[in-house]
Structure 1
Amino acid sequence: MFAVQFDSPGYTDVLQLRDIPVPSPGEGEVLIALEASAINPADVKIRSGVIPLQGSAPFTLGYDLVGTVEETGPNADRFLPGARVIGASTSALTGNGTWSEFVCLPETSLARAPEDVDPAILAQLPLPGLTAMQAVDALQLTKKSDVLVAGAAGAVGRIALQLLHLRGHRAHALVRRAEQAEMLPTGVAEEVYIGSPPVSRVDGVIDTAGIDLSAALRPGGHYVTVVPGSPPHSVSTESATLVITHESGAMLHALAEHLTAGELNLPESTAFTFSEIVAAHDEYDRQLGRRITLVV
């Protein structure tokens, strides 16, 4: 089977499409035939060496997965062969990348794929959706609140905005450039800030950009970041949380239901085949913020 691998970090030219053996599903796992995936910022950071991978070379990249169950392992009975599923592998932690023709994942990390959704669109949901949902949950909001989302035009930020809106909160968006404001999902942001955050305006912050947003918080507010190395020192540890995304089929199921109900909007993307992996990464590097998906 094919797999996108690299032996040592570097530029896009370190990526190679290799022929490797098909894995066998272990206890509680299923073997999935890949249909589509997506490029995330974490993939670029892993490829370039900013995020170190566990284990030894060669490394297989990829977090997101849309595919069809081919085989089930021992004590895996939630999905039958032929079922279409979505999933995310926390590959930086597990070393189990999804950019290969067949992928083994725990059945607890999977959810049924919504019907009639283009795989190239659906592939944008797993990792960004899980990260956004876990960030919103980490705020622990008990009443209607004002929440600022930084990096709101990005994959995680735009889903976080929509989840906050669905839960009845007042979502505020922060983007770097004016043209990014036009990329936001319509009808979910109370206010859009360009370049600079407000001061003492919100009860919570979700930072997806790795910038200091502590001045935006009202006293007693909570700061959530999905960027390692944050939050800033000016935020007390009692009011700050770093979210390291974990796999969850249950959360993916909830996200898929929102998508099916028309409550989540995912943007159009530029699709490449896996044989075009270097060109896909080159395009991603040139147009940060433009979603790039990979299809078989």
Structure 2
Amino acid sequence: MRAVTVSTFGGPENVEITEAPVPGPAAGELRIRTRAAAVHPADAAVRSGAVAAYLPSLPSHRLGWDLAGTVDAVGEGVRGFRPGDEVIGLSHWFRSHNGVHAEYAVLPASAVAPAPAGVDATVAAALPLNGLTALQALDATGLTAGQTLLITGAAGNLGGLALQLATARGLDVLALAGPGDREFVTAHGGRFVDRDDLASLALLAPDGVDAVLDTALLGPALLPHLLPGTVFVAVRPTGDLPADTRLTVVDVVPDGARLAELAELVASSALTVRVDTAVPFTEAAKAHARLAGRGVRGAVVLTF
């Protein structure tokens, strides 16, 4: 089979298409014939060498966190899936080093869910990583209906899903985004906050916010605009925060059951997943270049 790999760190041009053996599923696993797979900033960080110090010493690294595809083979003990099923799934790449940017991928059945019915694979493939991260991050805030949540990067792939899930829970969402994203934010129930005018938070939330979900990695830059004791949920380790800030860093957990819940929301149009660009996986370098470009609104997806 062919796979998307990196053997020398650098720019998008360093992405390679290489040959690899077709993997077989062990007990509790599924082999999936990949139809589409999203490209994420985490993939770009591996490709560029930005996280090289944290990677195992290997001749090359196969990229890819999440996919949509068709079950091709079922390992011993798997229940609920059979060959021919359309599915989506998530590999925690930094833990497993199991990249799914390949014609075939093997995942634990517990990390897989039925694909959203009636939804194109290019859209479905962009759901698992960002959808589960958004869901688990919202859980980490501990907020309930009526409370106020500030989401940074609220028009991005992760922030946009978090915005939709948060408003569906009845939260009052202050959505920090660029000036061109006002329509997206308001259409999904958020109160728009211009990312270039953080001071306006004092007017929109004079009593402060109950929690922050920082998908834009602003970290300490937000502190002058927050009250002591605010719950702060980050998706990566952030800079120094005051001792009274209740910080949680979310590390996504593959979870097929909760992924199935998200897939049902997408299938019913209660949750929108945006796709910016879809390119054949043999042109993965173009996908990486697009991801690094300006004005990306939605997922960059490889098709197989």
Same fold (TM over 0.5): yes
Structure 2 stretches lacking a partner, 5+ long: none
Contact between 1:4 and 1:15, CA under 8 Å: does it hold in 2?
Answer: yes
| Alignment: residue pair count | 293
Structure 1 stretches lacking a partner, 5+ long: none
Structure 1 residue 58, shift from structure 2 partner: 1.6
- What SS is found at the alignment partner of 1:202? coil
Residue identity over aligned pairs, in percent, reads: 36
Contact between 2:136 and 2:252, CA under 8 Å: does it hold in 1?
Answer: yes
1:144 — aligned with what?
146
Which of the residues 77, 80, 85 maps onto 1:78? 80
1:4 — aligned with what?
4
Partner Cα distance (1:190, 1:27) in 2: 48
Contact between 1:51 and 1:92, CA under 8 Å: does it hold in 2?
Answer: no
Partner Cα distance (1:239, 1:148) in 2: 15
Partner Cα distance (1:250, 1:280) in 2: 30
1:266-281 aligned within 5 A: 266-281=273-288
1:21-170 aligned within 5 A: 21-52=21-52, 53-54=55-56, 56-170=58-172
1:198-217 aligned within 5 A: 198-199=201-202, 201-212=208-219, 213-217=222-226
Partner Cα distance (1:268, 1:18) in 2: 26
Query: Quick check: which one's helix share is greater?
Result: 2
For 1:39, give the aligned amino acid: V
Normalized against structure 2, the TM-score is what?
A: 0.91
1:285 — aligned with what?
292
Contact between 1:202 and 1:216, CA under 8 Å: does it hold in 2?
Answer: no
Q: Residue 295 in 1 paired to residue 303 in 2?
A: yes
1:178 — aligned with what?
179
* CA deviation profile, 1:79-110 (whole Å, cap 9, x unmatched): 11111110111112210011000000000000
CA RMSD of aligned residues (A): 1.8
Normalized against structure 1, the TM-score is what?
A: 0.93
Partner Cα distance (2:78, 2:156) in 1: 35
Contact between 2:275 and 2:300, CA under 8 Å: does it hold in 1?
Answer: no
Partner Cα distance (1:286, 1:169) in 2: 32
Decide which moves more: 29-38 or 249-258.
249-258
Contact between 2:30 and 2:73, CA under 8 Å: does it hold in 1?
Answer: yes
